[in-house]
Amino acid sequence: MRASLIQIAVNPDESVDARRRRAAALVRDESASDLVVLPELWPVGAFAYEAFATDAEPLRGPTYEAMAAAAADAGVWLHAGSFVERDGEALYNTSLVFSPGGELVCSYRKIHRFGFDQGEAVLMSAGSELVVAPHPELPFGLATCYDLRFPELFRGLVDAGAAAFVIPAGWPERRREHWSLLARARAVENQAYVLACGTAGAHAGVEQAGHSVVVDPWGEVLAEAGRTEEVLTVTLDPERVPETRASFPALKDRVLGPRAPH
């Protein structure tokens, strides 16, 4: 199974519309992949707080339309990263997953909002539902950026059947070591693939870490990007998940919380 992570640059000199068109073209270029991933809030920028309300879209808005068409044209599963969703008065940091036919398979509203008492944490509402995308070869759990710091979310996703985690992000360069370390930790402790896709460039004065990374269920880094825009392509073997869980069955030794059925 081939996966492509599109570490797109979010630069302020490109309009949201132009970036949407460019992202769709980049997805279409990955028609040889089975799964394509975009990062967090790539239309507007994860730190462009002042634009959240003005650039917010309904669930089935322009980002949805562009990504549904790109998934169908490429014939790929597409985790289209996240965008600012408006639902009534509320804003959410919402991820979309499309089938190779371009149908919406599931969406996920980021549960842990970043910023403490400012930014996303006050501007956005929190999601509450754990979501696992039913990919036929590799069911993957959805998490977004700051969620990476909360291991109980990932354990919940394992209990819901996840064999992998897809994590779009807009992680800042200042804490890049945390990003790389936590991506590996989530893979090792859950014996699952981690596909973590960040952004390149800088927006709202925040340098992005880039360094999108794919980690296997043993914790080995299969591929890692640099800081500039690039597409990271890897081959995954879904069988590695049950094999790892069977040969080193630590998930069966859980004492607290539900036992994983693996």
Ligand X SMILES: O=C(O)CCC(=O)C(=O)O
Quote the CA–CA distance of 127 and 130 in Å, as a whole number. 9
DSSP string, 69-117: HHHHHHT-EEEEEEEEEEETTEEEEEEEEE-TTS-EEEEEE-SS-SSTT
Q: Which residue has the tokens 């069977």?
A: 246
* Smallest distance, ligand X to C-beta of residue 144, A: 7
Among candidate residues 40, 57, 85, 120, the one labeled active-site is 40
Stretch binding ligand X (CB under 6 A), from 11-19, 100-108, 166-174, 232-240: 166-174
Among candidate residues 30, 57, 85, 110, the one labeled active-site is 110
Catalytic residue check, 40: yes
Among candidate residues 85, 145, 197, 229, the one labeled active-site is 145
Task: Identify the bridge partners of residue 140 per DSSP, sorted by sequence position.
Answer: 133, 164
User: For ligand X, which is the closer residue by CB, 140 or 146?
Assistant: 146
Catalytic residue check, 106: no
Q: What are phi and psi of 224, to 5 degrees?
A: -145, 135
Catalytic residue check, 110: yes
Stretch binding ligand X (CB under 6 A), from 134-142, 150-158, 170-178, 221-229: 170-178
| Residues from 66 through 105 that contact ligand X (CB under 6 A) | none
Q: Where are the alpha helices (DSSP H) in the chain?
A: 16-29, 49-55, 62-74, 120-123, 151-159, 176-190, 240-247
User: For ligand X, which is the closer residue by CB, 85 or 159?
Assistant: 85
| Residues from 199 through 238 that contact ligand X (CB under 6 A) | none
**Three-state DSSP state, 245:** helix
User: For ligand X, which is the closer residue by CB, 86 or 178?
Assistant: 178
Q: Tell which residue, 198, 223, 216, 217, has the closest CA to residue 208.
A: 198
Quote the CA–CA distance of 153 and 205 in Å, as a whole number. 30
**Three-state DSSP state, 104:** strand
For the CA atoms of 133, 60, 233, 46, the dihedral, rounded to the nearest 10 degrees, stands at -100
H or E stretch at 2: strand 2-7
| Residues from 136 through 155 that contact ligand X (CB under 6 A) | 145-146, 149
| Position among 60, 175, 252, 259 found at the interface with ligand X (CB under 6 A) | 175
Task: Decide if residue 114 touches ligand X (CB under 6 A).
Answer: yes
Per-residue binding string, ligand X, 27-66, x by CB under 6 A, is: -------------------x--------------------
Question: How is residue 215 written in tokens?
Answer: 């980690």
* Smallest distance, ligand X to C-beta of residue 34, A: 27
> Which residues are annotated as catalytic?
40, 110, 145
Query: Which stretches of the chain bind ligand X, using CB under 6 A?
Result: 46, 114, 145-146, 149, 170-172, 175, 178
